Amino acid sequence: MKKILMGILLISLMGCSSKKDLNRDLEERENKDIQRDFVVIDASSPTRFGWIEDPEAWAHQNGRDLEKFRYFAFETEPKVSREIACDLAKAQVRSDIAGEIATFIDKQLGVSKEGDSSIDENNPNVKALREYTETTLAEKIMSLVHGAEISKTYWEKRRYQEKLGAKKDFTAYTCAVFIRMDSKRLATAVNEAANHVINKADDPETKENVKNALKNASENFIKAKAGEI
């Protein structure tokens, strides 16, 4: 779970400091041009799709309904077989979405330290809440994520080569899935997740501050996904 959260942090879909550019160019490359520490020797498509890099921007640029649905993507690390990689990618759908929600809520708590909610990060109760959002919340949210649909699947067979920078020569598969989830269901999951955090606060003052910080959690999450904040 920690690994998933770190990956989501690196993607930074939920950046609160600037608007996300849904019209930015998404580089879709022929597989023959992809050479890192591996060479793609087979794939489900000759093109590595832009939705793998940024599902919301790809959905926007390809006329998908961004009001009714929100979009996610998940790609596995190299696995020994295509079946294992794609089964894992499909199984990780709810976990990936839950992790993104948890990361967003944690960021909302962090931002509120400088806002009107006046959350004191030195308060032991607040520290416990932040630790809860970082380590436990995503697992709790998984049961709230319903109706996530896998729209597209893409896999690659890669030959990793020591001469290109890999630790050793080996062949492996990766698999990516493109996911859509009903916006209303997603909003419900975000609100439930926010309530989990609010109810974890022990003292009345902290509870009220956290409640204010997460007051519009689902609305802000949807807007962030849509690139509006």
Q: What's the pLDDT score for residue 150? A: 93
pLDDT of 119 higher than 60? yes
Instruction: State pLDDT tens for residues 141-170.
Output: 888 888 889 999 999 999 999 999 899 999
Are 139 and 98 contacting, i.e. CB atoms less than 8 angstroms apart?
yes
Structure tokens that stand for 188 in this block: 């419900």
Q: What's the pLDDT score for residue 201? A: 85
Q: What's the pLDDT score for residue 216? A: 87
Q: Is the pTM of this model over 0.75?
A: no
Are 148 and 177 contacting, i.e. CB atoms less than 8 angstroms apart?
no
pLDDT of 196 higher than 80? yes
> Mean pLDDT of all residues in the chain?
82
Q: What is the mean pLDDT of residues 90-110?
A: 89
Q: What's the pLDDT score for residue 11? A: 37
Instruction: State pLDDT tens for residues 25-54.
Output: 666 655 555 457 899 999 999 999 999 999
